């Protein structure tokens, strides 16, 4: 019984509060409507009926929002006040309590530690980068002081003279030889190998229309030269250089074919053009290219030919290389082949 009376009492108080609030709202609405000079929008209901409708809804509905019952300028006015109150409450809820606010000294210490860690990491990266650059520069320096002398089209009657010049300067070379010439000069062929130089293959015909007829004709000529070399000397090689170089005749499919056959294709980075000259002009051409070497990350591979004028003027080139601190080496299948 007491609980029932207490419940009724609370409901009566709430009803009185609603009536008072509604009355105040109605007075305010009437005042705004009757305000001189007001520019009201077209309303869904009459401005005078609106307070009466609100009063009825306010008393009859349990979940009543008096703002939603308004329209026109009246709605916008009270709606703006309501939104401002909500924003104020939200900002207050999101505010960090005093005991949660980071201490200034702590924040500064964390910032300092973060900066220190970033600096340490950057220093480590810089050190690693510097070491990598230094190693790369060192590798390039080694490559640029090592020269690979290569002779095409031999053996010939001038091979022995070339070998004598190389031996007198303590230098080695790689010989890309034609299969018919290996048969014609077997003694010179064996001399090349016996004196520590490297035999390599240059095909059979040295004829563009024959060797480059197809992928298979290139492979066949190299295999024929390989078999002849093995038969005459017992030496087996997979190093090849195609006539006139790989460009433009060795198309991608041709290169794939020789690679699939187990051959390693080599071109050159310095062309002596010694076949053009008879008075040793090629020596100056080679020196000029070496002093202005463009392929800084590639080995210095010099193209020469096994011929008379080259044999006669080769000592001048070897003397230059020796006096400028260059050392020679031979090509081998463990190196990364250079080709056009």
Residue 247: is its pLDDT beyond 70?
A: yes
pLDDT digits 0-9 by tens, 126-148: 544 544 444 444 444 445 789 99
Across 63-79, average pLDDT: 49
**152 confidence band (pLDDT: 50, 70, 90):** very high
Check if the beta carbon of residue 310 is closer than 8 Å to that of residue 158. yes
Per the model's pLDDT, the better-predicted residue between 196 and 53 turns out to be 196
**17 confidence band (pLDDT: 50, 70, 90):** low
**296 confidence band (pLDDT: 50, 70, 90):** confident
Structure tokens at 4: 């029932």
Q: Which of 2-16, 137-151, 257-271 has the highest mean pLDDT?
A: 257-271
Is residue 202 flagged as an active site residue? no
Predicted pLDDT of residue 316: 98
Predicted pLDDT of residue 251: 97
Structure tokens at 181: 């010439």
**294 confidence band (pLDDT: 50, 70, 90):** confident
- Percentage of the chain beyond pLDDT 90 is 56
Predicted pLDDT of residue 34: 52
Across 77-99, average pLDDT: 55
Residue ranges, CATH 3.20.20.370, the chain: 140-328
Identified catalytic residue from 66, 202, 206, 305: 305
Predicted pLDDT of residue 11: 60
Predicted pLDDT of residue 138: 43
Predicted pLDDT of residue 72: 47
Identified catalytic residue from 152, 267, 274, 306: 152
**330 confidence band (pLDDT: 50, 70, 90):** very high
Residue 338 has phi, psi (to 5 degrees) of: -105, 125
Predicted pLDDT of residue 128: 44
Q: If DSSP codes are grouped into helix, strand and coil, which group holds residue 339?
A: coil
**170 confidence band (pLDDT: 50, 70, 90):** very high
Residue 244 has phi, psi (to 5 degrees) of: 70, 15
Across 89-116, average pLDDT: 51
Angle formed by the axes of helices 49-60 and 2-33, nearest 10°: 170
Residue 265: is its pLDDT beyond 70?
A: yes
Structure tokens at 245: 């170089």
- Percentage of the chain beyond pLDDT 70 is 58
| One-character DSSP codes across 226-269 | HHHHHHHHS----EE--TT-STTTS-HHHHHHHHHTT-EE---S
Q: What is the mean pLDDT of the chain?
A: 78
**122 confidence band (pLDDT: 50, 70, 90):** low
Per the model's pLDDT, the better-predicted residue between 73 and 232 turns out to be 232
What CATH number belongs to 140-328?
Answer: 3.20.20.370
Whole-angstrom CA distances from 84 to 21, 68, 81, 176 are 20, 16, 5, 91
Structure tokens at 278: 């008879």
Check if the beta carbon of residue 163 is closer than 8 Å to that of residue 197. yes
Check if the beta carbon of residue 174 is closer than 8 Å to that of residue 330. yes
Predicted pLDDT of residue 28: 59
Whole-angstrom CA distances from 161 to 16, 17, 327 are 127, 123, 20
Residue 213: is its pLDDT beyond 50?
A: yes
Across 45-55, average pLDDT: 48
Whole-angstrom CA distances from 177 to 74, 131, 156, 181, 221 are 103, 42, 10, 7, 12
Is residue 76 flagged as an active site residue? no
Q: Which of 22-36, 104-118, 321-335 has the highest mean pLDDT?
A: 321-335
Residue 238: is its pLDDT beyond 90?
A: yes
Per the model's pLDDT, the better-predicted residue between 75 and 240 turns out to be 240
Per the model's pLDDT, the better-predicted residue between 80 and 73 turns out to be 80
3-state helix, strand, coil in the chain (%, to 5): 60, 10, 30
Whole-angstrom CA distances from 228 to 201, 225, 235 are 10, 5, 10
């Amino acid at each position: 019984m007491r609980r029932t009376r207490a419940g009724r009492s609370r409901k009566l108080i709430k009803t009185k509060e609603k009536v008072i609030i509604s009355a105040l709202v109605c007075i305010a609405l009437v005042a705004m409507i009757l305000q001189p000079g007001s520019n009201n929008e077209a309303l869904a209901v009459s401005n005078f009926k609106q307070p009466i409708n609100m009063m009825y809804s306010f008393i009859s509905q349990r979940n009543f929002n008096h703002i939603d019952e308004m329209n026109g300028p009246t709605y916008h006015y009270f709606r703006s006040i309501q939104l401002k109150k909500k924003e104020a409450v939200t900002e207050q809820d999101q505010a960090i309590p005093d005991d949660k606010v980071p201490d200034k000294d702590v924040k500064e210490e964390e910032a300092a530690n973060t900066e220190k860690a970033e600096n340490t990491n950057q220093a480590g990266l810089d050190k690693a980068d510097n070491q990598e650059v230094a190693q790369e520069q060192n590798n390039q320096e080694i490559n640029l002081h090592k020269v690979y002398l290569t002779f095409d089209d031999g053996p010939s009657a001038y091979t022995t003279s070339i070998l004598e010049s190389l031996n007198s300067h303590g230098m080695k070379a790689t010989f890309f030889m034609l299969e018919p010439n290996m048969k014609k000069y077997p003694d010179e062929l064996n001399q090349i190998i016996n004196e520590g130089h490297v035999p390599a293959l240059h095909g059979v015909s040295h004829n563009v229309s024959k060797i480059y007829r197809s992928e298979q004709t290139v492979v066949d000529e190299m295999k024929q030269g390989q078999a002849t070399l093995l038969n005459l000397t017992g030496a087996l090689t997979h190093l090849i250089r195609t006539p006139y170089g790989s460009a433009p005749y060795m198309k991608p499919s041709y290169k794939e074919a020789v690679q699939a056959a187990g051959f390693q294709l080599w071109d050159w980075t310095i062309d002596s053009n010694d076949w053009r000259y008879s008075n040793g002009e090629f020596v100056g051409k080679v020196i000029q290219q070496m002093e202005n070497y463009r392929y800084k990350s590639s080995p210095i591979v010099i193209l020469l030919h096994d011929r008379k004028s080259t044999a006669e003027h080769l000592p001048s080139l070897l003397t230059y290389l020796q006096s400028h601190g260059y050392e020679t080496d031979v090509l081998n299948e463990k190196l990364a082949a250079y080709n056009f």
